[in-house]
Structure 1
Amino acid sequence: MGQRIGYARVSTDDQNLDLQLDGLHKAGITDDHLYSDTASGKDAERKELAACLKALREGDTLVVWRLDRLGRSLPDLVRIVGELEQKGVSFESLTEKIETGSAAGKLVFHVFAALAEFERNLIRERTQAGLAAARARGRSGGRKPKLDTQQIKEIMRLMSDPSIPVSTIAKRYQVSRTTIYKVAPVRRPEPKRQP
């Protein structure tokens, strides 16, 4: 029989791990089999989680106090548990009473995986429907252009005059020099050098 290894995480230094650690200790996890991070699940690198996942061997069980302590999102959680399953590692969440070592626990987790896939498909469909609706109204995706057609014509005229610095044109239209070069890629005559 494998080892039971615990993982705990809090998002900020203001929060503390006591509640999670107490729950993990009650579940039989000893301090030498505990990993914990103080990091935002969304942004920060979770070094202790990486070490924990690396330490797990076939037959072991990863135990967390609550599902949201492990995954950044439902798809992330499903991905991690799927990787554990491939390694022959069971997963247990104490609060939700999910344990993938049993047939019932596996079933519950497969329902979560289906929900995660459903959520991804819904987001994709909504995005595509929104873009289609915008196109039907004559709008395309992306940012509104910084310059209108009239301004671009004026810039092209100004760019053909080598005595006007590009920085002056950019300042006048409140855009960067790069934007000026993009809309008016005409070559300016080189100023004549004095001998």
Structure 2
Amino acid sequence: MVQGKQTKCLDHLRPGDTLVVYKLDRLARSQKQLIEIADRLREEDVELVSISEQLDTRTAIGKAMFGMIGVMAELERNMIRERTAAGLAAARARGRRGGRPKMNPEKIRYALSLYDAREMTISEITTETGVSKSLLYKELNKRNLKQATE
């Protein structure tokens, strides 16, 4: 969903307002997000004007053009979904499995014990054990949550 500065801006809009942006890519990071914002603006009776794209939803042509942008974005999402599904099916047919490889639980326990010993830095622990920094922190957080609930 929409986050950050966009949320602050959108939260201040009232029915009948017009949101003016220099360029649509300054309003949203992705086509999906742009569609979500457009839906929100429509629901809240707020118009949109983009200076660079010369798009103005206060006019019939502007509304139609913005609708076309939405249709093209949906088409792009569907094509990506289809290509992804086809790629995964082809990989499975070749005997490949998706996802990250599972980390050896012994390596994780060893990394945690090195962390608890406080004799090595995180970088040294990851180099020594092969456990990534993100996985080490994830396991530490899991352990801390478990201890907090006990």
Q: Deviations over 1:100-133 (max 9, x none)?
A: 1111001001111111111111111111111100
Aligned to 1:45: 4
Are residues 1:74 and 2:20 paired?
no
**Over the residues paired in the alignment, what is the CA RMSD in angstroms?**
2.6
Are residues 1:107 and 2:61 paired?
no
Which residue identity lines up with residue 102 of structure 1 in the other structure?
A: T
Question: Aligned pairs, how many?
Answer: 110
Query: 2: CA distance between counterparts of 1:60 and 1:175?
Result: 55
Query: 2: CA distance between counterparts of 1:111 and 1:73?
Result: 16
Change (3 A) 1:145 1:79: closer
| Local SS of the residue matching 2:95 | coil
Q: Deviations over 1:65-89 (max 9, x none)?
A: 1111101112211210221011111
Alpha-carbon distance, 1:143 to partner: 3.0
Aligned-pair identity in percent equals 47
Are residues 1:91 and 2:91 paired?
no
- Structure 1: unaligned runs, 5 residues or longer: 1-43, 148-154, 156-165, 168-173, 177-195
Of Structure 1 and Structure 2, the greater strand share is in 1
Matches within 5 A, 1:44-193: 45-46=4-5, 49-144=6-101
Query: 1: CA distance between counterparts of 2:103 and 2:12?
Result: 53
Query: 1: CA distance between counterparts of 2:19 and 2:103?
Result: 52
Query: 1: CA distance between counterparts of 2:43 and 2:100?
Result: 43
The structure with the larger Rg is: 1
Query: 2: CA distance between counterparts of 1:114 and 1:74?
Result: 10
Alpha-carbon distance, 1:52 to partner: 2.1
Please say if residues 59 and 90 of structure 1, whose CA atoms lie closer than 8 Å, have aligned partners that are also in contact: yes
Query: 2: CA distance between counterparts of 1:146 and 1:70?
Result: 40
Which residue identity lines up with residue 95 of structure 1 in the other structure?
A: S
Q: Deviations over 1:16-74 (max 9, x none)?
A: xxxxxxxxxxxxxxxxxxxxxxxxxxxx832xx32321221111100011111101112
Please say if residues 64 and 92 of structure 1, whose CA atoms lie closer than 8 Å, have aligned partners that are also in contact: yes
Query: 2: CA distance between counterparts of 1:96 and 1:124?
Result: 27
Change (3 A) 1:134 1:95: same
Of Structure 1 and Structure 2, the greater helix share is in 2
Query: 2: CA distance between counterparts of 1:76 and 1:58?
Result: 21
Change (3 A) 1:78 1:145: closer
Alpha-carbon distance, 1:135 to partner: 0.9
| Local SS of the residue matching 2:19 | strand
